[in-house]
Amino acid sequence: MRIGEVADKAGVSVRALRYYEEQGLLPARRSPGGQRHYPDSAVGRVRLIQQLYAAGLPSRVVREVLPCVDSGDVPPGLLDQLEAERVRVDQRITDLLAVRDRLDDVIAVTRDPDADCSHTQ
Which alpha helices (DSSP H) does 1-113 contain, by range? 3-10, 14-22, 42-54, 59-71, 78-111
pLDDT in tens, 53-99: 988 888 888 988 898 888 888 888 888 888 888 898 899 999 999 99
pLDDT in tens, 23-57: 989 999 999 998 999 999 999 999 999 999 988 88
d(CA 20, CA 25): 5
Q: Nearest 5 degrees, angle CA 69-CA 75-CA 81?
A: 85
d(CA 112, CA 105): 10
d(CA 57, CA 45): 15
- Whole-model pTM above 0.75? no
All structural domains of the chain:
1-73 (1.10.1660.10), 74-121 (no CATH)
